[in-house]
Amino acid sequence: MRQSHAFIPTLRDLPADAEVVSHQLMLRAGMMRQISSGVYTYLPLGYRVIKKVSEIIREEMDRAGGQELLMPALQPAELWMKTGRWDDYGPLMMKVTDRHERPFALGPTHEEVITSIVRDEVKTYKKLPFILYQIQTKFRDEYRPRFGLLRGREFIMKDAYSFDTSEEGLDRSYKAMYDAYVRIFTRCGLKFRAVEADSGAIGGKDNHEFMVLASIGEDTIAYCSSCSYAANLERAEVVHTPNPSDEEPQPLRKVTTPGVRTVAKQAEIMGIPVSKVIKNVVFSVEGKPVVVLVRGDHEVNEVKVKNFLNLTTLEMADEETIRKVFGCEPGFVSPIGIAGITVLADRAIKEMVNASTGANETDYHYLGVQPERDFHVDHYGDFRNIREGDPCPRCGAPIRFTQGIEVGHVFKLRTKYSSALGAVYQDEKGNLKEMLMGSYGIGVSRLVAAVVEQSHDENGMIWPKAIAPFAVHLVPVNIEDAEQREFAERLYGELQNQGIEVLFDDRNERAGVKFKDSDLLGIPLRVVIGTKIREGKVELKIRRTGESLEVPTRNALQEILRVWEGLE
Ligand code: 9G3
């Protein structure tokens, strides 16, 4: 492509509302433009990368036995009402009505649609198993779209769905998709980790998230410093290592603590470590309060509480409720003397001695608190976030934290949708069975931004070879110099004859502008035709390493091909 005709509107300055580097660079490189919050146009340069990534995904999905189809974005509400999910997502689901006032969802995902299609077409085990997939636009009305393509309201997803007749079959489909994901992310040049993810109330190792390690990633990953264990913080299990205290239990006594609302202040006033404070976190579950107790130096894990209570959503009790139920300001709540209210406690609470906690009276806390003696706990469990340094649940080595961008997610759904929508088949014995499903997503547009997050420097993007918008950036320094222009034109034709995708910077611009733009666009290999053309030399420059080498013009073509082959 000739750059003088290319629609690549580069920007010199940092766009104002772009907070992360991938967002800034993709705007500055003319890869995309925002039309509304979280809604983007993929401009030609950006769309070339989207298409490259999509092709890699197609190759690996097909190799894993997937069959590509394309489902509608317009989904009749009835389908979502049948699975009971029409209202589950509130304003996150984009809804429209047609000319007859019939309600539709703009598809945020396609479990309902795909299951209804397969239900209507497959009745016998002989036609199972199979995997169907699509690459399609999704809509989710995020409250706060941000970070460019990393969290958009309209985005491109590859979503696949497997249909099996047995657990073993589902395991095979799941593994085929899991392995395909490893190949896809590797081919896209990403550094990633598969982490165990929250599988809701069902639990088990039934879903994994593929995380691109990046400091701006919204997900915190707990991973082991020595074995391969890695889990989303939401799900990372805490191994409880008992360390009973040998302190003499003191009597319970009330202490005046005016205006003391923080754990740190409370510990200071009581002259105890924060680890001897009992924090009371109050949730409201179906209108009733549930108190969850965690140690002062721990954090409550809401996903673990939600899963234990078998809920799809969990909300904190508001201040009004706390005042009404406990008769005190938040921060003074206590598990003592609240018969009839459910109390959950993290396991670490059980062995505490001479602890401190609220007194259910504003400006008062207790000291000398003994769990079991002074208050009742309905259930002890793992209700806290794991912390850096805690023992790995698999091997005991210290846990570390890192941030990740979720680019893939694989789920075992089993019969969740086939039972709700009646996707059944006749097995060998003629019995009706529900199909066992899996669902597998990749955020295609998010993946492109994640690559930029991981692969850039202060001058711009650095595209991995497999998904670069072009292979070679051909840059004659002075297009008005006949010798430079003629050699560049010839090389342009020869490279294209070899099937090499070339962006030919034939603009009449100063050298500095050309090199700055070339660094910004991040095309892996630059060929510079400059004044050395008179000595029969051109320069090759590798964008990732900055390494450059001079080659004689007579074998410029095969040198470019050789260096290109050697790039990763
Ligand atoms: C909704 C809305 C948002 C959603 C969902 C439904 C996330 C929803 C989970 C999934 C599961 C898998 C297939 C590809 C891989 C992920 N956000 N999820 O179901 F109505 Cl508004 O999408 N789906």
Ligand 1 nearest-atom number relative to CA 161: 13
CA angle, 495 as apex, 493 and 496 as ends, to 5°? 65
Q: Domain with 548 in it: what CATH number?
A: 3.40.50.800
Report how far ligand 1's centroid is from the alpha carbon of 41 (Å).
23
Would you state the pLDDT for residue 17? 87
Ligand 1 nearest-atom number relative to CA 159: 14
Q: How many CA atoms lie within 13 A of 8 on its CB side?
A: 23
Cα–Cα nearest to 110, from 63, 158, 163, 64: 158
How many structural domains comprise the chain? 3
Would you state the pLDDT for residue 204? 65
Instruction: Give the list of residues 6+ apart from residue 454 with CB closer than 8 angstroms, or none.
Output: 190, 191, 212, 213, 214
Q: Are residues 480 and 413 in the same domain?
A: no
Q: Are residues 425 and 560 in the same domain?
A: no
Q: Kindly indicate the confidence band of residue 202, based on its pLDDT and cuts at 50, 70 and 90.
A: low
Question: Is 325 within the bounds of a domain?
Answer: yes
Q: Domain with 85 in it: what CATH number?
A: 3.30.930.10
Would you state the pLDDT for residue 15? 87
Report how far ligand 1's centroid is from the alpha carbon of 425 (Å).
25
Tell me the two tokens of residue 200.
């809701």
Q: pTM for the whole thing?
A: 0.90
Report how far ligand 1's centroid is from the alpha carbon of 108 (Å).
6
Would you state the pLDDT for residue 467? 98
Q: Are residues 146 and 288 in the same domain?
A: no
Question: Is 492 within the bounds of a domain?
Answer: yes
The pLDDT of 514-541, averaged and rounded, is: 98
Question: Whose CA is closest to atom 3 on ligand 1?
Answer: 108
Ligand 1 nearest-atom number relative to CA 105: 20
What's the mean per-residue pLDDT of the chain?
A: 96
Q: For residue 162, which phi and psi values (nearest 5 degrees)? A: -105, 150
Question: Whose CA is closest to atom 19 on ligand 1?
Answer: 109
Q: Are residues 304 and 415 in the same domain?
A: no
Count CB-CB contacts under 10 A for residue 363: 16
Q: Are 122 and 163 in contact (CB under 8 A)?
A: yes
pLDDT in tens, 223-249: 998 998 999 999 999 998 888 899 999
DSSP annotation of 391 reads: B
Report how far ligand 1's centroid is from the alpha carbon of 46 (Å).
25
At 240, the amino acid letter reads H
Ligand 1, pocket-test mutation among 74, 104, 109, 159, most atoms within 8 A of CB: 109
The pLDDT of 171-189, averaged and rounded, is: 98
Q: Are residues 202 and 120 in the same domain?
A: yes
Q: Domain with 296 in it: what CATH number?
A: 3.90.960.10
Question: Whose CA is closest to atom 16 on ligand 1?
Answer: 441
Question: Is 3 within the bounds of a domain?
Answer: no
Q: Are residues 128 and 260 in the same domain?
A: no
Q: What is the rounded distance in angstroms from the CA atom of residue 483 to the CA atom of residue 473?
A: 18
Pairing of strands 355-358, 342-346: unpaired
Compute the residue count for the chain.
Answer: 568
Distance of CA 116 to the CA centre of its chain: 28
Ligand 1 nearest-atom number relative to CA 85: 20
Would you state the pLDDT for residue 206? 87
Report how far ligand 1's centroid is from the alpha carbon of 310 (Å).
19
Cα–Cα nearest to 446, from 407, 496, 492, 485: 407
Cα–Cα nearest to 453, from 405, 406, 519: 405
Report how far ligand 1's centroid is from the alpha carbon of 322 (Å).
33
Q: Are residues 35 and 71 in the same domain?
A: yes
Ligand 1, CB cutoff 6 Å, lining residues:
85, 89, 92-93, 108-109, 111, 140, 159, 409, 411, 439-441
Q: Are residues 447 and 477 in the same domain?
A: no
Question: Is 311 within the bounds of a domain?
Answer: yes
Question: Is 160 within the bounds of a domain?
Answer: yes
Is 90 exceeded by the pLDDT of residue 568? no
Question: Is 65 within the bounds of a domain?
Answer: yes
Ligand 1 nearest-atom number relative to CA 93: 21
pLDDT in tens, 306-316: 999 988 789 99
Report how far ligand 1's centroid is from the alpha carbon of 107 (Å).
9
Would you state the pLDDT for residue 528? 98
Pairing of strands 537-542, 525-529: antiparallel
Report how far ligand 1's centroid is from the alpha carbon of 553 (Å).
55
pLDDT in tens, 282-300: 999 988 999 999 999 999 9
At 205, the amino acid letter reads K
Question: Whose CA is closest to atom 1 on ligand 1?
Answer: 108
Report how far ligand 1's centroid is from the alpha carbon of 287 (Å).
27
Q: Kindly indicate the confidence band of residue 199, based on its pLDDT and cuts at 50, 70 and 90.
A: confident
Please give the helix or strand (H or E) that residue 101 lies within, else none: none
Q: Are residues 370 and 496 in the same domain?
A: no
The pLDDT of 30-59, averaged and rounded, is: 98
Tell me the two tokens of residue 399.
């846990």
Would you state the pLDDT for residue 203? 60
Q: Are residues 377 and 438 in the same domain?
A: no
The pLDDT of 351-360, averaged and rounded, is: 97
Q: What is the rounded distance in angstroms from the CA atom of residue 173 to the CA atom of residue 127?
A: 15
3-state secondary structure of 128: coil
Is 70 exceeded by the pLDDT of residue 425? yes
The pLDDT of 329-355, averaged and rounded, is: 96
Residue labelled with tokens 């320069």: 539
Report how far ligand 1's centroid is from the alpha carbon of 388 (Å).
30
Burial class (CB in 10 A: 0-12, 13-18, 19+), 126: exposed
Q: Are 182 and 460 in contact (CB under 8 A)?
A: no
Q: For residue 394, which phi and psi values (nearest 5 degrees)? A: -95, -50
Report how far ligand 1's centroid is from the alpha carbon of 282 (Å).
28
Ligand 1 nearest-atom number relative to CA 92: 21
Question: Is 141 within the bounds of a domain?
Answer: yes
Ligand 1 nearest-atom number relative to CA 140: 21
Q: What is the rounded distance in angstroms from the CA atom of residue 436 to the CA atom of residue 412?
A: 8
Q: Are residues 419 and 368 in the same domain?
A: no
pLDDT in tens, 485-521: 999 999 999 999 999 999 999 999 999 999 999 999 9
Q: Which residue has the higher pLDDT, 10 or 203?
A: 10
Q: For residue 196, which phi and psi values (nearest 5 degrees)? A: -65, 135
Report how far ligand 1's centroid is from the alpha carbon of 346 (Å).
30
DSSP-based helix, strand, coil % in the chain, nearest 5 = 30, 30, 40
Question: Whose CA is closest to atom 22 on ligand 1?
Answer: 109
Ligand 1 nearest-atom number relative to CA 139: 21
Question: Whose CA is closest to atom 8 on ligand 1?
Answer: 109
Domain extent, residue 539, equals: 470-566
Report how far ligand 1's centroid is from the alpha carbon of 40 (Å).
21
Question: Is 41 within the bounds of a domain?
Answer: yes
pLDDT in tens, 451-492: 999 999 999 999 999 999 999 999 999 999 999 999 999 999
Would you state the pLDDT for residue 241? 86
Ligand 1 nearest-atom number relative to CA 94: 21
The pLDDT of 370-395, averaged and rounded, is: 96
Q: Are residues 176 and 264 in the same domain?
A: no
